[in-house]
């Protein structure tokens, strides 16, 4: 696999002297490297040095990438303008960038852009102008009591408002002292003075099984590259156990990266980290402020940030000395980035681990088939936690056959589930109703003519939203392109007035149905669009913990990681939903998601139960969930994939051809099919209209390449793509190891 190796040699031990030409990689979406000259009188430059170079009429920041490509004649070559005052990008980061670019067939500049996501951090340390007491008080200074207090405080520098606050005086007092020369200005480098996680901070007493697992994980730290699967049922204490590995890495002075899905929602995880290590880790995700990003990026590069917890993009942070990577919920689909550089963060983390010669831990209660297979073949090690912590029982899982227990008309809760909800409410416990559908209703149609309200930019139905939080009352939204509009008054097709019918449930509609049945219950909805930020999620979690909520209705954002001791009933409203699409991983994904949702029930002293509403109780996924026989389910799935030569036993790569002009898109897709590398075991399917055949105003066609495991799909793809001329109005997107087939 590492034959795509961007080898160390290409980056290490190279230095470029004044007068020499050197390749500089620029963080541009379609960019590669460009040659520049090292100016006379400069120190020797090395790969990874951050520089500023002229590009056309402007200047651009980039990194020294290696030997010049020689495509520019020396006399035409321009000089590097500036060496930036930042430590250089470590060789391991350069290797990762080169490797990810080669593996995903992306321009290296696009990958560098992910590593240089905070251009402002290159501007050198941030400084503040602070005030402190002058060494010599000016003669004849009038000393009032407020002034005396300020001067006493000002032995420790601070901003004017800081000093005013500390001395409890008005700003004008400080201003007066400055004008009188009793205070002077000092320039200070601003560094966040965050408390560091303390590995010596006492942790919980581990059970025997947990302690054994923790010891094994601790031994990996500092012993080179390894990948270990930490698997154990939900609530077995995987987090507590991998915290021990974090402690070990910190004790050895190394940095740690923890990747979580839905990082913006992980308030509970952060709290547990603080509890364990006495301080918060550095967080890295889309909600982090610009200032924190700028400081954080530098702290990672300078080795000051010891533990980073983040979304997949954190993998590309410039760690000075990373010693451990943990991927929590390693099976989670959100690790796959589907836009720009299309990559799988779990797989790239393993590559990063190998380049850095460090251990990688993959934690999950429902490991992916890929990871399980790697364990079976001995590539990955496995550490197992067999039981829930503290004797908590796994919940009982019941299938509710919707054919035998149909819900009433225009409602979605079956009599057995309603009864269980009533019991839960009566015993003052909590219930979670899970439905992976945002909004009020997934489809709105005209009762007269059957016309369905569709997005104008996409081949999708518009989703009706009624809650004021989300899109305002009675709005129709496209979940793919963000387009929305108010509910029309007349049908665009038959002009009938006010006869639209909402079809099917979303979480909002379920909440409404619950209110009808349980007027006294306190009900809350949790979905990505009802939360406007991590604060919202934290507030909801706190209300759940305080038992201010009886019934929580949620999408998959509630499935992940939360621990609510009084949550004893989980109702899955439409367990069959995920099976519908029928892609390669539909069964596996449904099993994982529903296991995870089910795992929210009965995590403490109170035993939990889970009810799955289904129309196909004899489906293999439903049977596996009800019987708890995960091993058998996975064995059958594995056998199927092996037979079919599907991942992880074979390789897939998808091409998505898109553009505004359908005829042009079809033509490119046809040309691609004509020059496809069909031979022997390599098969190309398509072109076929994508399931989302029209998305954000673009027509889309798909081709799928299937090849045996040992094939270098990258070289096949490169050769193939060179054969077809693609007009600029058409885009061909390459997705190596596709997870989405839409």
Supply the Cα-derived Rg of the chain in whole angstroms: 29
133 phi and psi angles, rounded to 5 deg: -65, 135
**Cβ closest to ligand ADP, residue 23 vs residue 365:** 365
Q: Residue 210 interacts with ligand ADP (CB under 6 A)?
A: yes
Tokens of 714: 């990258």
The CB-of-360 to ligand ADP minimum distance in angstroms stands at 17
**Cβ closest to ligand ADP, residue 238 vs residue 698:** 238
Q: Residue 602 interacts with ligand ADP (CB under 6 A)?
A: no
Q: Residue 455 interacts with Zn ion (CB under 5 A)?
A: yes
Beta strand 21-25 pairing with 698-708: unpaired
Q: Residue 543 interacts with Zn ion (CB under 5 A)?
A: no
Which helix H or strand E contains 637, and what residues bound it? helix 630-644
The CB-of-476 to Zn ion minimum distance in angstroms stands at 10
Near ligand ADP by CB under 6 A: residue from 33, 104, 228, 234: 234
From the list ligand ADP, Zn ion, none, pick the one residue 480 interacts with, judged by a Cβ distance below 5 to 8 Å according to partner type. Zn ion
Stretch that binds ligand ADP, among 111-119, 205-213, 249-257, 432-440 (CB under 6 A): 205-213
Q: Residue 138 interacts with ligand ADP (CB under 6 A)?
A: no
Q: Residue 149 interacts with Zn ion (CB under 5 A)?
A: no
The site string for Zn ion over 261-300 (x = CB under 5 A, - otherwise) reads ----------------------------------------
Near ligand ADP by CB under 6 A: residue from 35, 49, 240, 508: 240
Residues 6+ apart with CB under 8 A from 635: none
The CB-of-203 to ligand ADP minimum distance in angstroms stands at 8
Beta strand 15-16 pairing with 45-46: antiparallel
Q: Residue 367 interacts with ligand ADP (CB under 6 A)?
A: no
Stretch that binds ligand ADP, among 29-37, 200-208, 419-427, 702-710 (CB under 6 A): 200-208
Tokens of 351: 């590559």
* Residue labelled with tokens 């954190």: 314
The CB-of-229 to ligand ADP minimum distance in angstroms stands at 13
Report whether 430 contacts 549 (CB < 8 A). yes
Q: Residue 507 interacts with Zn ion (CB under 5 A)?
A: no
Q: Residue 104 interacts with ligand ADP (CB under 6 A)?
A: no
From the list Zn ion, ligand ADP, none, pick the one residue 471 interacts with, judged by a Cβ distance below 5 to 8 Å according to partner type. none
Q: Looking at residues 306 to 345 of the shown chain, list those that interact with Zn ion (rule: CB under 5 A).
A: none
The CB-of-560 to ligand ADP minimum distance in angstroms stands at 10
Q: Residue 366 interacts with ligand ADP (CB under 6 A)?
A: no
Angle between helices 507-517 and 415-426 (to 10 degrees): 70
**Cβ closest to ligand ADP, residue 235 vs residue 686:** 235
The CB-of-455 to Zn ion minimum distance in angstroms stands at 3
Q: Is 273 left (phi over 0), alpha (psi -120 to 50) or beta?
A: alpha
452 phi and psi angles, rounded to 5 deg: -105, 135
Q: Residue 414 interacts with ligand ADP (CB under 6 A)?
A: no
Report whether 155 contacts 132 (CB < 8 A). yes
Number of residues that bind Zn ion (CB under 5 A): 7
Near ligand ADP by CB under 6 A: residue from 100, 206, 531, 598: 206
- Residue 675, Cβ density class (10 Å: 0-12 exposed, 13-18 middle, ≥19 buried): middle
Near ligand ADP by CB under 6 A: residue from 147, 238, 509, 562: 238
The CB-of-463 to Zn ion minimum distance in angstroms stands at 10
Q: Residue 364 interacts with ligand ADP (CB under 6 A)?
A: no
The CB-of-533 to Zn ion minimum distance in angstroms stands at 24
Q: What is the DSSP letter of 197?
A: P
The CB-of-394 to ligand ADP minimum distance in angstroms stands at 11
- Residue 451, Cβ density class (10 Å: 0-12 exposed, 13-18 middle, ≥19 buried): middle
**Rounded distance between C-alpha atoms, residue 526 and residue 520, angstroms:** 19
Q: Identify the bridge partners of residue 191 per DSSP, sorted by sequence position.
A: none
Tokens of 172: 């004008």
* Three-point CA angle 727, 731, 732, nearest 5°: 110
Tokens of 366: 């429902």
- Residue 517, Cβ density class (10 Å: 0-12 exposed, 13-18 middle, ≥19 buried): middle
- Residue 187, Cβ density class (10 Å: 0-12 exposed, 13-18 middle, ≥19 buried): exposed
Stretch that binds ligand ADP, among 78-86, 98-106, 190-198, 238-246 (CB under 6 A): 238-246
**Rounded distance between C-alpha atoms, residue 608 and residue 190, angstroms:** 50
The CB-of-498 to Zn ion minimum distance in angstroms stands at 25
The CB-of-599 to ligand ADP minimum distance in angstroms stands at 7
Q: Is 414 left (phi over 0), alpha (psi -120 to 50) or beta?
A: beta
The CB-of-655 to ligand ADP minimum distance in angstroms stands at 38
400 phi and psi angles, rounded to 5 deg: -105, 110
510 phi and psi angles, rounded to 5 deg: -65, -40
**Cβ closest to ligand ADP, residue 232 vs residue 687:** 232
Compute CA distances 463 → 112, 436, 441, 459, 472, whole Å.
37, 13, 6, 13, 13
Q: Looking at residues 517 to 576 of the shown chain, list those that interact with ligand ADP (rule: CB under 6 A).
A: 563
**Rounded distance between C-alpha atoms, residue 313 and residue 339, angstroms:** 12
Q: Identify the bridge partners of residue 654 per DSSP, sorted by sequence position.
A: 704, 735
Near ligand ADP by CB under 6 A: residue from 66, 237, 323, 407: 237
Beta strand 50-55 pairing with 58-67: antiparallel
The CB-of-388 to ligand ADP minimum distance in angstroms stands at 7
The CB-of-212 to ligand ADP minimum distance in angstroms stands at 12
Using CA atoms in the order 641, 645, 651, 652, what is the torsion angle rounded to 10 degrees?
A: -80
From the list ligand ADP, Zn ion, none, pick the one residue 483 interacts with, judged by a Cβ distance below 5 to 8 Å according to partner type. Zn ion
Near ligand ADP by CB under 6 A: residue from 27, 235, 359, 602: 235
Q: Residue 236 interacts with ligand ADP (CB under 6 A)?
A: yes
**Rounded distance between C-alpha atoms, residue 590 and residue 596, angstroms:** 10
Q: Is 646 left (phi over 0), alpha (psi -120 to 50) or beta?
A: beta
Give the chain's length: 742
Stretch that binds ligand ADP, among 199-207, 510-518, 624-632, 673-681 (CB under 6 A): 199-207
**Cβ closest to ligand ADP, residue 389 vs residue 589:** 389
Report whether 432 contacts 597 (CB < 8 A). yes
Q: Residue 207 interacts with ligand ADP (CB under 6 A)?
A: yes
Q: Residue 584 interacts with Zn ion (CB under 5 A)?
A: no
Q: Looking at residues 389 to 408 of the shown chain, list those that interact with ligand ADP (rule: CB under 6 A).
A: 389
From the list ligand ADP, Zn ion, none, pick the one residue 237 interacts with, judged by a Cβ distance below 5 to 8 Å according to partner type. ligand ADP
Q: Identify the bridge partners of residue 650 per DSSP, sorted by sequence position.
A: 708
* Three-point CA angle 649, 653, 657, nearest 5°: 160
**Cβ closest to ligand ADP, residue 234 vs residue 568:** 234
Number of residues that bind ligand ADP (CB under 6 A): 15
Q: Looking at residues 400 to 439 of the shown chain, list those that interact with Zn ion (rule: CB under 5 A).
A: none
The CB-of-204 to ligand ADP minimum distance in angstroms stands at 3
Q: Residue 239 interacts with ligand ADP (CB under 6 A)?
A: yes
Q: Residue 48 interacts with ligand ADP (CB under 6 A)?
A: no
**Rounded distance between C-alpha atoms, residue 300 and residue 118, angstroms:** 12
Tokens of 490: 């007349």
Q: Looking at residues 463 to 492 of the shown chain, list those that interact with Zn ion (rule: CB under 5 A).
A: 478, 480-481, 483
End-to-end CA distance of the chain: 27
Report whether 432 contacts 570 (CB < 8 A). yes
**Cβ closest to ligand ADP, residue 235 vs residue 677:** 235
* Contacting residues toward ligand ADP, per CB under 6 A: 204-207, 210, 232, 234-240, 389, 563
Give the interface with Zn ion as residue ranges (CB under 5 A).
455, 457-458, 478, 480-481, 483
């Amino acid at each position: 696999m590492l034959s795509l190796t961007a080898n160390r040699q290409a980056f290490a031990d190279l230095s470029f002297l004044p007068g020499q030409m050197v390749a500089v990689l620029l963080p541009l979406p379609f960019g590669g490297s460009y040659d520049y000259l090292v100016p006379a009188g400069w120190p020797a430059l090395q790969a990874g040095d951050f520089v500023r170079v002229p590009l056309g009429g402007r200047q651009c920041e980039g990194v020294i990438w290696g030997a010049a490509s020689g495509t520019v004649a020396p006399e035409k070559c321009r000089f590097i303008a500036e060496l930036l005052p930042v430590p250089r990008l470590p060789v391991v980061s350069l290797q990762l960038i080169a490797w990810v670019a080669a593996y995903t067939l992306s321009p290296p500049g696009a990958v560098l852009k992910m590593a240089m996501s905070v251009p402002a951090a290159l501007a050198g340390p941030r400084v503040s102008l602070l005030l402190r007491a002058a060494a010599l008080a000016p003669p004849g200074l009038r000393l009032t009591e407020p002034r005396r207090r300020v001067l006493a405080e000002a032995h420790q520098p601070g901003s004017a408002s800081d000093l005013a606050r500390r001395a409890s005086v008005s700003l004008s007092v400080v201003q007066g002292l400055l004008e009188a020369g009793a205070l002077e200005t000092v320039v200070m480098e601003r560094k966040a003075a965050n408390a560091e996680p303390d590995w010596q901070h006492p942790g919980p007493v581990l059970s025997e099984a947990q302690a054994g697992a923790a010891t094994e994980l601790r031994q990996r730290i500092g012993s080179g590259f390894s990948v270990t699967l930490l698997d154990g049922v939900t609530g077995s204490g995987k987090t507590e156990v991998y915290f021990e590995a974090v402690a070990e890495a910190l004790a050895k002075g190394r940095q740690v990266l923890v990747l979580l899905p839905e990082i913006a929602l992980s308030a509970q995880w952060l709290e547990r980290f603080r509890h364990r290590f006495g301080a918060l880790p550095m967080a890295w995700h889309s909600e982090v402020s610009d200032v924190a990003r700028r400081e954080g990026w530098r702290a990672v590069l300078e080795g000051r940030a010891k533990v980073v917890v983040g979304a997949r993009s954190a993998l590309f942070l410039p760690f000075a000395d990373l010693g451990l990577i943990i991927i929590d919920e390693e099976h989670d689909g959100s690790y796959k980035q589907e836009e720009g550089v299309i990559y799988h963060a779990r797989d790239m983390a393993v590559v990063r681990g190998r380049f850095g010669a460090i251990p990688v831990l993959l934690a999950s209660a429902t490991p992916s088939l890929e990871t399980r297979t790697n364990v079976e073949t001995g590539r990955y090690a496995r550490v197992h936690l067999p039981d829930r912590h503290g004797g908590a029982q796994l919940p009982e899982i019941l299938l509710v056959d919707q054919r035998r227990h149909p819900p009433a008309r225009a409602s979605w809760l079956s009599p057995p589930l309603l009864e269980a909800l009533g019991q839960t409410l009566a015993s003052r416990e909590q219930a979670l109703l899970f439905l992976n559908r945002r909004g009020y209703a997934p489809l709105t149609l005209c009762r007269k003519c059957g016309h369905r309200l569709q997005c104008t930019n996409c081949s999708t139905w518009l989703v009706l939203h009624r809650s004021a939080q989300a899109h305002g009352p009675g709005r129709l939204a496209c979940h793919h392109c963000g387009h929305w509009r108010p509910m029309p008054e007349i049908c665009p097709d038959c002009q009938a007035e006010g006869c639209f019918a909402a079809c099917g449930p979303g979480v909002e509609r379920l909440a409404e149905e619950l209110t009808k049945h349980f007027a006294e219950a306190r009900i809350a909805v949790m979905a990505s669009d009802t939360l406007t930020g991590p604060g919202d999620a934290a507030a909801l979690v706190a209300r759940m913990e305080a038992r201010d909520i009886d019934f929580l209705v949620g999408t998959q954002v509630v499935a992940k990681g939360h621990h609510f001791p009084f949550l004893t009933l989980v109702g899955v409203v439409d367990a069959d939903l995920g099976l519908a699409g029928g892609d390669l991983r539909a069964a596996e994904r449904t099993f994982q998601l529903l296991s995870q949702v089910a795992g929210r029930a009965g995590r403490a002293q109170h035993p939990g139960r889970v009810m799955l509403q289904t129309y196909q109780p004899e489906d293999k996924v439903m049977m596996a969930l009800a019987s708890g026989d995960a091993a058998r389910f996975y064995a059958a799935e594995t056998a199927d994939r092996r037979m079919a030569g599907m991942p992880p036993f074979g390789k897939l790569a998808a091409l998505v051809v898109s553009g505004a002009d359908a005829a042009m898109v079809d033509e490119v897709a046809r040309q691609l099919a004509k020059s496809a590398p069909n031979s022997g075991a390599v098969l190309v399917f398509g072109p076929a209209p994508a399931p989302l055949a029209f998305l954000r105003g673009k027509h889309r066609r798909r081709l799928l390449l299937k090849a045996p495991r040992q094939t270098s799909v990258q070289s096949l793809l490169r050769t193939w793509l060179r054969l077809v001329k693609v007009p600029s109005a058409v885009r061909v997107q390459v997705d190596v190891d596709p997870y989405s087939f839409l």
